[in-house]
């Protein structure tokens, strides 16, 4: 689950000077540097990913324990994409720091870089987000102290951590639903000539958990379990291609339970499906002791490639799945690949690309919603806004950054924050106060938090065409009292609603409301918008000081909220056929 625009690269903040004059360093930050020795390498002379996972887990755990002040255990590690391999003699640097703490769990950001000492070059290898849980003490459950972000980049990661946590909590159910829908769309698996039976790639291995495999809490070290899982997955991949595969990505590790010294860990792997130049290997870890039944400890899906002498991916044999379960795994691997490609497209989509809109599909809803909210949170965290004008406590700010213009409008209302959130969440009600919303209808009600609308705006020139927008609105209630209410908006593309001759299709890249509760009756509302070509004409005169229409619109918004302050919370719009 990556952050758009700002990843864990934020771990390397620019110098931040405290009021005392001292250079700020995050108190939870832990650094580890290791030179890669032959004992750490695989048969290709490259650092074993299993060894790297051990180092990453150790560094992140130390960071979590530095913040918690007690023992912590690994709960999960988000998806990891490995951008480069690491050779013997090179130096691995790992930086970990706590982005945010919740009640008894915390998110730790991990950045891995590699340095070649001979040429003085350093490059990024991967980054990840890991969740750790503080173990109970003799006095009971731990209540973690808050993380206080000091820099703008720390504020971004602090804010996004709440969104990533939400994703983790619904991950299993969401992925199950997506796989079910995607698999139905993908049809039956095809028979390929000269396909390799999937059973040929099956691997099973048993490991006895010994004291060297345990952590300081006398349970099996999470990094060791991940390393064993990577080992059997690599063997399975090798059996398909009869070559040395390179691990490119890992889907989320999720630890479902502990294991201890004396346990036997059964590790199983099999190639679920192969594509032109990549393959997916499913791997799981189960534990038992004596005659006890197997306990499911962890599972993951790993994507491998085989590289030629020029480091280019080779063509791979196709897989012939076994009946029933094999065909199910084959189909689910296809669905996961589609989800990964959709996610990659959403996250890596550049602001300068046209069209700005990302195609909407049920399989990418989770990541598109995440990206929508995260983009707004990144804008909210920016600090270098410039006050352009102010009228009767309605303020207009602008921000020019990397040739992109953003603006925000800010005001306060004497209405509870939750009621403000309910009234602004349904974009159809915006027609009552925003003259730029000539028409607004629900196109698709995806769920209670994500709704797609079609909005029509009048022409700004006499006799010209109006604009229409197909927009996804994602709403979020606060994770805790330190978070605002959010309503994030961005354009999406729907095949069922192509551009028409009556309107020019406009696009919104990032916009929305941030609603802060200042007291039980006072709420601060800030509206943000990244001024895309479709939006800029409506606000340009205000920005250059030739108009104050923004004041009229948000004064009307204030009046609308006051008039409806006693109304019941607005329910989500009814479902609409796509």
User: What are the strands of the beta sheet with 105-116, ordered from one edge?
Assistant: 30-35, 91-101, 105-116, 121-134, 72-77, 253-254
Q: What is the DSSP string of 24-81?
A: P--TT-EEEEEEPPGGGB-TTSBB-HHHHHHHHHHHHHHHHHHHHSS-EEEEEE--EE
Domains of the chain, each with CATH number or no CATH: 1-151 (3.10.129.10), 170-348 (3.10.129.10), 358-563 (3.30.530.20)
* Element containing residue 184 per DSSP (H, E): helix 171-186
Strands 196-197 and 319-320: parallel
Provide the phi-psi class of 403: left if phi over 0, else alpha when psi is between -120 and 50, else beta.
left
H helices then E strands: how many in the chain?
A: 9, 25
pLDDT value of residue 23: 77
Q: Phi, psi at residue 213, to the nearest 5°?
A: -90, -5
pLDDT value of residue 18: 60
pLDDT value of residue 354: 46
Read off the pTM: 0.86
pLDDT value of residue 194: 81
Do 336 and 181 touch, CB atoms closer than 8 A? no
Each residue's pLDDT, cut to its tens digit, for the chain (578 residues) gives 444 433 344 445 545 666 666 778 899 999 999 999 999 998 888 999 999 999 999 999 999 999 999 989 999 999 999 999 999 999 999 999 999 999 899 999 999 999 998 888 999 999 999 999 998 766 667 889 999 998 888 999 999 999 999 888 877 777 777 667 666 665 555 666 788 999 999 999 999 999 999 987 788 999 999 999 999 999 999 999 989 999 999 988 999 988 999 999 999 999 999 999 999 999 999 999 988 899 999 999 999 999 988 889 999 999 999 888 998 899 888 888 887 777 776 666 554 454 567 888 877 788 889 889 999 999 999 989 999 889 888 999 999 887 788 999 999 999 999 999 999 999 999 999 999 899 999 999 998 999 999 999 988 777 788 899 999 999 999 988 889 999 999 999 998 999 999 999 988 889 999 999 999 889 999 999 987 776 777 777 666 666 678 889 999 999 999 999 887 654 455 444 43
Cα–Cα distance measured from residue 519 to residue 299, given in angstroms and rounded to the nearest whole number: 45
Cα–Cα distance measured from residue 354 to residue 352, given in angstroms and rounded to the nearest whole number: 7
Cα–Cα distance measured from residue 73 to residue 534, given in angstroms and rounded to the nearest whole number: 49
Q: What angle, 0 to 180 degrees and rounded to 10, lies between the N-to-C axes of helices 325-348 and 171-186?
A: 110
SS3 content of the chain, % helix, strand, coil (to 5): 30, 35, 35
Q: Let me know if 405 is exposed, middle or buried by CB neighbors in 10 A (0-12, 13-18, 19+).
A: middle
């Amino acid at each position: 689950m990556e952050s758009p625009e700002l990843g864990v690269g934020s771990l390397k903040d620019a110098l931040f000077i405290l009021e005392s004059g001292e250079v700020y360093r995050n108190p939870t930050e832990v650094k580890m540097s290791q030179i890669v020795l032959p004992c750490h390498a695989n048969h290709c002379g490259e650092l074993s990913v299993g060894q790297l996972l051990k180092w990453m887990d150790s560094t992140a755990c130390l960071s979590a324990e530095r913040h918690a002040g007690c023992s912590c255990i690994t709960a999960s590690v988000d998806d990891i994409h490995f951008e480069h391999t690491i050779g013997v003699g090179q130096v691995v640097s790992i930086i970990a720091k706590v982005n945010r703490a919740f009640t008894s769990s915390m998110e730790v950001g991990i950045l891995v870089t590699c340095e070649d000492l001979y040429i003085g070059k350093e490059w990024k290898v991967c980054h990840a987000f890991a969740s750790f849980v503080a173990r109970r003490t003799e006095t009971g459950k731990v209540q973690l102290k808050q993380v206080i972000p000091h820099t703008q980049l720390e504020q971004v990661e602090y804010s996004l951590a709440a969104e990533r946590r939400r994703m983790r909590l619904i991950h299993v159910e969401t992925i199950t639903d997506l796989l079910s829908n995607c698999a139905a769309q993908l049809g039956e698996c095809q028979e390929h000539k000269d396909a390799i039976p999937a059973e040929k790639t099956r691997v099973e291995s048993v490991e006895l958990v010994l004291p060297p495999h345990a952590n300081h809490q006398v349970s099996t070290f999470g990094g060791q379990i991940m390393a064993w899982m990577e080992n059997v997955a690599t063997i399975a991949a090798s059996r398909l291609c009869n070559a040395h595969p390179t691990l490119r990505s890992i889907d989320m590790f999720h630890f479902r339970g502990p294991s201890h010294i004396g346990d036997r860990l059964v590790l199983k792997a099999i190639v679920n499906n192969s594509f032109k130049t990549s393959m997916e290997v499913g791997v799981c870890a189960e534990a038992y002791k004596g005659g006890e039944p197997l306990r499911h400890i962890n599972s993951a899906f790993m994507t491998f490639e085989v590289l030629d002498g020029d480091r280019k991916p080779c063509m791979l044999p196709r897989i012939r799945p076994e009946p029933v379960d094999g065909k199910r795994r084959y189909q689910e691997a296809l669905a996961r690949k589609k989800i990964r490609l959709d996610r990659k497209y959403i996250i890596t989509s550049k602001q300068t690309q046209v069209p700005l809109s990302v195609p909407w599909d049920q399989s990418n809803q989770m990541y598109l919603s995440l990206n929508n909210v995260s983009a707004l949170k990144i804008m909210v965290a920016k600090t270098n806004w410039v006050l352009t004008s102010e009228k009767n406590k309605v303020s207009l700010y602008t921000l020019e950054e990397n040739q992109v213009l953003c603006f925000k409008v800010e005001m306060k209302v004497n209405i509870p924050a939750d009621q403000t959130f309910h009234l602004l969440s349904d974009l159809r009600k915006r027609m009552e106060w925003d003259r730029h919303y000539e028409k607004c209808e629900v196109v698709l009600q995806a769920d209670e938090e994500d709704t797609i609308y079609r909005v029509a705006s009048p022409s700004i020139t006499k006799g010209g065409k109006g604009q229409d927008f197909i927009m996804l609105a994602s709403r979020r209630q606060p994770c805790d009292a330190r978070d605002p209410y959010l309503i994030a908006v961005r354009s999406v593309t729907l095949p069922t609603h192509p551009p028409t001759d009556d309107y020019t299709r406009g696009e919104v890249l990032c916009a929305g409301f941030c609603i802060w509760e200042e007291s039980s009756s006072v709420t601060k509302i800030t509206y943000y918008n990244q001024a895309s070509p479709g939006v800029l004409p409506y606000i340009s005169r205000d920005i250059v000081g030739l108009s104050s229409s923004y004041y009229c619109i948000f004064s009307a918004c204030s009046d609308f909220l006051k008039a409806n302050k006693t109304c019941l919370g607005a329910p989500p719009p009814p479902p609409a056929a796509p």
